[in-house]
């Protein structure tokens, strides 16, 4: 017998009236489209990770201070992502034609597009400010423009990522299985964006396709970077359109938490952010601790991977003109390795629900300082890059799925919840950004000292994950009784 239509009259309803039918679940194909914006965002993030650490050293910032440039990312993420999540939870009405999350996603994508243009054309803008374009000289004007664009890029990334994750949580209504599927989709599109972005960074012929990018102040490597960011804008625009225009917000989920706030609620944002910690259960704290330790392990690799390939495998240097070509060859090969890493990340994301183990290995060899590195060492480096795609896929999806499910009963909006989880990512990044440069210099330069710390943090994080994370299902288990 089908359920009766709920009584909508003034007072004639009875207690025997059937409850309203549950809202129709959002189709999985809509979750797939909603997650597609991750491809465009991650395309630019891949270019940022693979090309900008080498590029900023070309502009004249020493290697010891290159990590400080990345400090703006976690600092902006420390407040921007929780703030945007809070605003999308509390400010935007759920029944708005634009929805709660989509305006923030679109605005974040627009800021990313503007910022990558600023970064890509920083050398040309620095020339207008009087920079000396002699190779090896420090370009102060370009550095200032670059830093402004870099800060805006990180703000845009953080302003987009949080609402994207919260958008998926809204669409799945915190159903544990669908939440894991949605985050697996998101991780899959991140992998696709990484593959395209790293492949773009590994190709050195973009200046031939976009010849106008070569200028007096912008060499071939600079023109390739500029062209790559132009491609980023195109891909970002397409994926943002698919996510924002073709998928509607779920107005039935979390509408109570999207009610128009009072001015007191807006003023109490920081208190709400940090005050919510006291409501966390032990499983939530375990998720945050493991995420923090994991990112202490990941960030040195993310920060210096292509620089490590150019310096320590190809024995090049961006500061020495004679070694610049070897350095750029290593950076491109590092981008290719990151592309392989992303292929594994994408494959792993497909089976993410059943993934429960991590692998790791190490090998230490040496060779002469002159000439190209032996093929075996390059191959071993690429294998390391590739293998790391599997645990990276875990990092990109499992913590978000667990957080989305575990905070459901705490009364927090999904936007604020994703912002709080982001704190366990950006605080380790701040620590690494401040400490990796001086730490590397203390042990003679290079990237190996930071990698040692990363390995130790990853090992501890793995132990905490094994011993501390809950093994129960993420969602409540319904019991059935037989009569």
Nearest in space to 58 (alpha carbons), one of 159, 126, 5: 126
Q: Identify the pLDDT of residue 371.
A: 56
Q: 191: which 2 tokens?
A: 């992998």
The superfamily (CATH) of domain 32-249+279-468 is MFS general substrate transporter like domains (1.20.1250.20)
Q: Are 90 and 413 in contact (CB under 8 A)?
A: yes
Residue 103 zone, left/alpha/beta (φ > 0; ψ -120 to 50; rest): alpha
Q: 462: which 2 tokens?
A: 């793995």
Q: Identify the pLDDT of residue 258.
A: 40
Q: 458: which 2 tokens?
A: 């990853």
Nearest in space to 172 (alpha carbons), one of 19, 287, 350, 32: 32
Alpha helices in 320-413 (DSSP H): 324-350, 375-387, 389-406
Q: Identify the pLDDT of residue 95.
A: 59
Q: Identify the pLDDT of residue 431.
A: 76
**Cα separation of 170 and 253, whole Å?**
6
Nearest in space to 310 (alpha carbons), one of 330, 284, 332: 330
DSSP conformation class of 470: -
Q: Identify the pLDDT of residue 316.
A: 80
DSSP conformation class of 252: T
Positive or negative torsion for Cα 74, 80, 84, 85: positive
Q: Identify the pLDDT of residue 443.
A: 59
**Cα separation of 219 and 221, whole Å?**
6
pLDDT, tens digit, for every residue of 255-283? 444 444 433 344 345 555 666 667 677 77
Residues of the chain short of pLDDT 50, as ranges, are: 1-16, 254-268, 352-367, 472-483
Q: Identify the pLDDT of residue 201.
A: 86
**Cα separation of 112 and 106, whole Å?**
10
DSSP conformation class of 447: S
- Helices 37-58 and 102-120 cross at an angle (nearest 10°) of 30
Percentages helix, strand, coil for the chain (3-state, rounded to 5) are 70, 0, 30
pTM listed for this prediction: 0.67
Q: Identify the pLDDT of residue 287.
A: 78
Q: Identify the pLDDT of residue 366.
A: 47
**Cα separation of 6 and 165, whole Å?**
33
Q: 412: which 2 tokens?
A: 């927090």
Q: Identify the pLDDT of residue 308.
A: 77
Q: Identify the pLDDT of residue 25.
A: 73
Q: Identify the pLDDT of residue 116.
A: 93
**Cα separation of 56 and 38, whole Å?**
26
Q: Identify the pLDDT of residue 19.
A: 54
């Amino acid at each position: 017998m089908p359920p009766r239509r709920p009584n909508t009259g003034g007072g004639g309803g009875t207690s025997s009236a059937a409850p309203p039918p549950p809202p129709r679940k959002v189709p999985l194909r809509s979750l797939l489209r909603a997650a597609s914006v991750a491809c465009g965002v991650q395309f630019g993030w891949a270019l940022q990770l693979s090309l900008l650490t080498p590029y900023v050293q070309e502009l004249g910032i020493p290697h010891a201070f290159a990590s400080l440039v990345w400090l703006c990312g976690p600092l902006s993420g420390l407040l921007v992502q929780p703030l945007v999540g809070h605003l999308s939870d509390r400010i935007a009405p759920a029944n708005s034609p634009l929805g709660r999350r989509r305006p923030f996603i679109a605005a974040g994508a627009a800021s990313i597009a503007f910022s990558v243009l600023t970064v890509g054309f920083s050398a040309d803008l620095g020339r207008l400010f009087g920079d000396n374009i002699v190779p090896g000289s420090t370009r102060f004007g370009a550095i200032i423009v670059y830093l402004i664009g870099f800060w805006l890029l990180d703000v845009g990334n953080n302003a987009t990522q949080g609402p994207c994750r919260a958008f998926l949580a809204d669409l799945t209504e915190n159903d544990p299985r669908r939440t894991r599927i949605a985050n697996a989709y998101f991780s899959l599109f991140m992998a696709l964006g990484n593959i395209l972005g790293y492949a773009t960074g590994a190709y050195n012929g973009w200046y031939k396709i976009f010849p106008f990018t070569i200028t007096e102040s912008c060499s071939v490597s600079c023109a390739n970077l500029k062209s790559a960011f132009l491609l980023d804008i195109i891909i970002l625009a397409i994926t943002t359109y698919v996510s924002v225009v073709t998928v509607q917000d779920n107005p039935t989920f979390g509408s109570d938490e999207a009610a128009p706030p009072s001015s007191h609620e807006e003023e109490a944002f920081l208190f709400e952010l940090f005050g919510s910690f006291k409501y966390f259960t032990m499983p939530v704290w375990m998720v945050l601790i493991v995420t923090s330790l994991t990112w202490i392990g990941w960030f040195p690799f993310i920060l210096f991977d292509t620089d490590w390939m150019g310096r320590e495998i190809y024995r090049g240097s961006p500061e020495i003109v004679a070694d610049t070509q070897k350095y750029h060859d290593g950076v491109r090969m590092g981008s290719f390795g990151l592309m392989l890493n992303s292929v594994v990340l994408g494959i792993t994301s497909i089976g993410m629900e059943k993934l429960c183990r991590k692998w790791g290995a190490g090998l230490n060899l040496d060779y002469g300082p002159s000439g190209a590195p032996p093929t075996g060492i390059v191959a071993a480096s690429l294998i390391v890059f590739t293998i790391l795609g599997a645990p990276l896929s875990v990092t990109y999806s499992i913590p978000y799925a667990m957080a989305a499910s575990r905070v459901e009963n705490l009364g927090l909006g999904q936007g604020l919840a994703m912002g709080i989880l982001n704190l366990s990512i950006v605080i380790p990044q701040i620590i690494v950004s401040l400490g990796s440069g001086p730490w590397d210099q203390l042990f003679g330069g290079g990237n190996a000292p930071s990698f040692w710390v990363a390995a130790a943090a990853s090992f501890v994080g793995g132990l905490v994950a094994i011993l501390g994370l809950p093994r129960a299902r993420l969602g409540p288990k319904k019991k059935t009784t037989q009569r």
